[in-house]
Structure 1
Amino acid sequence: MTLSVTRTARGMVQPSGQTPTGTLHLSFIDRLPVLRCNARTLHVFRHGHEPAEIIREALSKALVPYYPLAGRLKESSQGELQIACTGEGLWFVQASADCSMDAVNYFDNIPMVHHEKLLPDLLTEVDDLDPLVLMQVTQFTCGGFVMGLIFCHSICDGLGAAQFLSAVGELARGLHHPSVAPVWCREALATTAPQVYATGKANPPPPLPFLPDYQLKHATMDITPDQINQLKHEFQESTGQTCSTFEIVAARMWSRRTKAINLEKDAKVTLVIFANARQLLHPPLPKGFYGNCFFPVTITVSSEKVSQASHAEVVKLIQESKSMLPIEFTKWINGNSVGDVDPFAPPLAYTTMFISEWGRLGFNQVDYGWGPPVHMIPIQGSSIIPVAIVGTPPKPKKGIRLMTWSVSGPHLQNFLEQMLNLT
């Protein structure tokens, strides 16, 4: 059906109390050029009574301890990206839809989601304000609502953004203070990384070389708990060891996609997994840190090796690479990486597959007073970068939802058939 959304109010939400001013330094991970982008998500809730008003008020309260999010990006005289703590606020849009959540099946069919209507728009006259966080709350006729979120990735990773939303939820439910106090602590990520990272120039990187537009097609697959347990059992029977659900799903996704795109045997294929690195610092980052602290685990082997390997062998490849994360991260952060290869910029090619886990970031536990979301939807950011996101299906379904934009049209049917074949 056609979804009609009316935006009824727009404006800045500023901190409800006095906040510090001045300039804050970002970490060198925050300043990576690859993070100069916005993450866009939709959070679907079954119930809510005047959610826009309640969330708006809670946002204003949350921006007191999280005051940097009410500021703006700036560039120092040396070209270093920083935060100006201006207190200008975040952008908030209130909207209403003309139908119930049942009528759109709680947006279970991701390709049919009208995300441009559910994400906040920014009026032309305030474009130059460039807020770090933009939010739209759209209420449906049944009382349910969708929170559309646009978040500046230079300020928070997924764990950090979820921490902020959890604080907003606690304040919306009547708590006087967030249960986890935010910690800036960007200085803990010392600028001893290679100079290419340490400079953190705010200027955009050189233009990318010509890249083909693959027109990657969306595919969503739900993997039941029984199927996951079966694959885990087979791995344990084969190796005598255990593995995580994410490792099971990532191995299946990578091997089946590699088979589906049918490359030459000696073609190199790469899997990139984004891993939390907070615990790898010495000392570990404190609870409440909400900046970027992750590192890519990269695996590159021949197409033949991935295609012909058993599922257990691919899981082992992933586990072995993950076991090297502490060593590789420590080398990188101390400026001792070998060669000029940027681990945050693997080749943007059809042979490179990016996969990340969203189900454990904390978004699914955010509660503004009417229970956690029934669904959380990532919005595709690129049509040329093969991506898969491991999340959870809409409630009451259980298991894993694999959301992918990873193959072009000619390979889609073969890929779906490969994924559905459990043998």
Structure 2
Amino acid sequence: MTLSVIRSNRSLARPAEHTPSGILDLSAIDRIPVLRCNARTLHVFRHGGLEAAQVIRGALSRALVPYYPLAGRLKESNQGELQIDCCGEGAWFVEASANCTLDSVDYFNDVSSIPYDELLSDSVPKTDGMEPLVQMQVTQFTCGGFVVGLTFCHAICDGLGAAQFLNAVGEMARGLEHPSIAPVWHRDFFPLQSQLEDSTQSPNFPPPLPSYQLKHANIDISTDHISQLKQQFHESAGQTCSAFEIVAATFWRQRTRAVNFENKTEVKLVFFANCRQLLDPPLPKGFYGNCFFPVTITTSSEWLTQATMVDVVKLIQEAKSKLPFEFSEYINGDYARNGEDPFAPPLTYTTLFISEWGRLGFNQIDYGWGPPVHVVPIQGSSIIPVGIVGSLPLPNVGIRLMTWSVEEAHLQPFIHLMTTPI
């Protein structure tokens, strides 16, 4: 059955009460150019009823009172610095209905067949060329379930911050008067460095874009298998490791084998680590801005393909142990002296990005009918090799590695290596 979606209402969800106005400065991390983009996700809920869209819209308006900056718009200062105009114009909200059940589309388990354009908001209004920072479409299915299609401005929140806000919307939908975690702006957690500004606005021309197109593959991993690999690591190394480290090591190693790079090719693994607790004092609970730093690991393809899983996990752990020092250097502006921007790793086939979603909080969002059965990230680029570590759709338990990391010629070797027991 072909999915057909009809949008019945489009409007701005403004804060339910009067909110402060004025201009707010963003942090130096918020203003990194690579974050000047939208993150898009689908959140699939098994139950809801006909009133789901109205309940969520009302809760969104109430949540925008304490989170009033999210009802504003991006602007640039006279010096070209990104700011928030707290104008209270609101979030964009679209109500829609589909002509089928969620079961008939398997709760969008097959990412390759999802009609994203039908499930994300459309006709988005602009103010002085700027879109709303939060855009949401709630699509009701004939079974009573619904899908929230979310578009979120990355310059305002990282994944933890976005999940914190959505959980607040869920609490408002369930009848709470105030969010259980009060939002904290606190974007001045380190002084702006002139050398940081100079580095992120380099006059160098970007490299030519590659011509390959990355293919999607889901790799499902049981908790039992993860436990076995963690036990193997403990027996060999005499120390513990995380599920993320196991998945990242396996993913990087097997992808490199599948691609079969020439010997001594330099390959990189990049992931972004939460740094809220690395500041002195740590950022307060409720902070919802961007506060992370890239962990970048470089080695040769020859070493990586010959290394054991234990070797690769150790390499990842060693890189993570340097995070406090490297983040401190970044805060102090010292990294600019070597001419390298840690937030601008080479976007080539030899660089693999991996992101952990399991602990962000998206899977706990509850608008009154229980948490989502499935949270689906939407590919941001067809040329940046990436994997996202999430959870299997409920009621299954385990890890789902959602990948867009290899081109067609390497897809089957990659899937074979990832699904063959180590």
Q: Normalized against structure 2, the TM-score is what?
A: 0.97
Distance 1:108 1:126 in 2: 36
Q: For residue 241 of structure 2, what is the aligned residue in structure 1?
A: 243
Superposition deviation, residue 114 in structure 1: 1.0
Q: For residue 184 of structure 1, what is the aligned residue in structure 2?
A: 185
SS of equivalent residue, structure 1 residue 73: strand
Superposition deviation, residue 125 in structure 1: 7.8
Counting aligned pairs with the same residue, the percent is 65
Show the 5 A alignment for 1:225-264: 225-264=223-262
Distance 2:216 2:128 in 1: 31
Q: Does 1:316 align with 2:317?
A: no
User: Are 1:79 and 1:200, in contact at CA under 8 Å, matched by a contact in 2?
Assistant: no
User: Are 1:221 and 1:401, in contact at CA under 8 Å, matched by a contact in 2?
Assistant: yes
Q: For residue 8 of structure 1, what is the aligned residue in structure 2?
A: 8
Partner letter of residue 25 of structure 1?
D
Show the 5 A alignment for 1:69-148: 69-123=70-124, 128=129, 130-148=131-149
For residues 354-411 of structure 1, the C-alpha deviation after alignment (integer angstroms, 9 at most, x for no partner) is 0010011000000000000000000001011000000001001111000000000000
Q: For residue 158 of structure 2, what is the aligned residue in structure 1?
A: 157
Distance 1:274 1:360 in 2: 13
Superposition deviation, residue 122 in structure 1: 2.1
User: Are 2:91 and 2:132, in contact at CA under 8 Å, matched by a contact in 1?
Assistant: yes
Q: 2:266 aligns with which of 249, 265, 268?
A: 268
Show the 5 A alignment for 1:26-41: 26-41=26-41
Superposition deviation, residue 197 in structure 1: 3.3
Q: For residue 356 of structure 1, what is the aligned residue in structure 2?
A: 355
For residues 122-144 of structure 1, the C-alpha deviation after alignment (integer angstroms, 9 at most, x for no partner) is 25687945111100000000000
User: Are 2:124 and 2:131, in contact at CA under 8 Å, matched by a contact in 1?
Assistant: no
SS of equivalent residue, structure 1 residue 16: coil
SS of equivalent residue, structure 2 residue 324: helix
Superposition deviation, residue 209 in structure 1: 2.3
Q: For residue 303 of structure 1, what is the aligned residue in structure 2?
A: 301
SS of equivalent residue, structure 1 residue 305: helix
SS of equivalent residue, structure 2 residue 334: coil
Q: For residue 214 of structure 1, what is the aligned residue in structure 2?
A: 212
Show the 5 A alignment for 1:363-374: 363-374=362-373
Q: Does 1:172 align with 2:173?
A: yes
Q: Normalized against structure 1, the TM-score is what?
A: 0.97
SS of equivalent residue, structure 2 residue 249: helix
Partner letter of residue 18 of structure 1?
H
User: Are 2:74 and 2:130, in contact at CA under 8 Å, matched by a contact in 1?
Assistant: no
For residues 324-373 of structure 1, the C-alpha deviation after alignment (integer angstroms, 9 at most, x for no partner) is 00000001111112511110000010000000100110000000000000
Distance 1:381 1:83 in 2: 24
Structure 2: gaps (5+ residues)? none
RMSD: 1.6
Distance 2:300 2:167 in 1: 42
Structure 1: gaps (5+ residues)? none
Distance 1:72 1:323 in 2: 38
User: Are 1:259 and 1:307, in contact at CA under 8 Å, matched by a contact in 2?
Assistant: yes
Distance 1:185 1:336 in 2: 23
Distance 1:413 1:131 in 2: 41
For residues 42-81 of structure 1, the C-alpha deviation after alignment (integer angstroms, 9 at most, x for no partner) is 0000000211100000000001100000000011111111
User: Are 1:191 and 1:198, in contact at CA under 8 Å, matched by a contact in 2?
Assistant: no
Partner letter of residue 237 of structure 1?
E
Q: For residue 323 of structure 2, what is the aligned residue in structure 1?
A: 325
User: Are 1:81 and 1:200, in contact at CA under 8 Å, matched by a contact in 2?
Assistant: no
Show the 5 A alignment for 1:18-57: 18-49=18-49, 50-57=51-58
Superposition deviation, residue 207 in structure 1: 5.6
Distance 2:171 2:417 in 1: 43
User: Are 1:169 and 1:366, in contact at CA under 8 Å, matched by a contact in 2?
Assistant: yes
User: Are 1:278 and 1:294, in contact at CA under 8 Å, matched by a contact in 2?
Assistant: yes
